Amino acid sequence: MDDVTLWRLVAVHPIGGLTEVGFVPKSSRLLVASHQGRGEYDLVDGARLARDRSEDSTSWFDPNGPACLALVSPAWVPVAGLAGGTLPIGHGRWQLELSEERAVVVDAASSISQQLCEGEEVRVAGFAPGGQTIVVGRPMDLSIYRAP
């Protein structure tokens, strides 16, 4: 497989103790939960839209879902990460290949690939609804990629 740059890195945000991420339904927002609270990010430009530093997650995290309460428009959002759940790892011709410390996106039609990260635990990764965005969550950061 050839390693090329197809997906554009939009943003990398430091997240202390990232635990879960989830896509806010009917929006272009990502909800991120951590040991230091939660935040919401715009999936188009990567901007942080809201932040709650409350470490007491009993009012905003449901481990049975798992789900988190969104910040911008309060609604329960299914999440994936340490508490369980999954994100889509394929969309159209694109497929994510994940290992404990590596995330690679592969164009199944041509076998061209792009390494998204390597060297640190990948806690959660997947495609946003619509397939135009990939998120990769690691213990200390969140990366947002956009389609070519």
How do residues 92-140 score in pLDDT, each as one tens digit?
A: 999 999 999 999 999 999 989 999 998 899 999 999 999 999 999 999 9
Residue ranges per domain, the chain? 8-146
Quick one: pLDDT at residue 111? Answer: 86
Question: Quick check: 8 and 148 in contact, CB under 8 A?
Answer: yes
Per residue in 4-51, pLDDT (tens digit) is 668 999 999 999 899 999 999 999 999 999 999 999 999 999 999 999
Quick one: pLDDT at residue 1? Answer: 46
Question: Quick check: 85 and 78 in contact, CB under 8 A?
Answer: yes
Alpha-carbon distance 145 to 34, whole Å? Answer: 20
pLDDT band at 3 (very low <50, low <70, confident <90, very high): low
Per the model's pLDDT, the better-predicted residue between 47 and 56 turns out to be 47
Quick one: pLDDT at residue 4? Answer: 60
Alpha-carbon distance 71 to 60, whole Å? Answer: 9
| CA nearest to 15, candidates 106, 129, 132, 143 | 143
Give mean pLDDT, residues 77-106: 96
Q: For the beta carbon of residue 126, count every other beta carbon within 10 angstroms.
A: 22
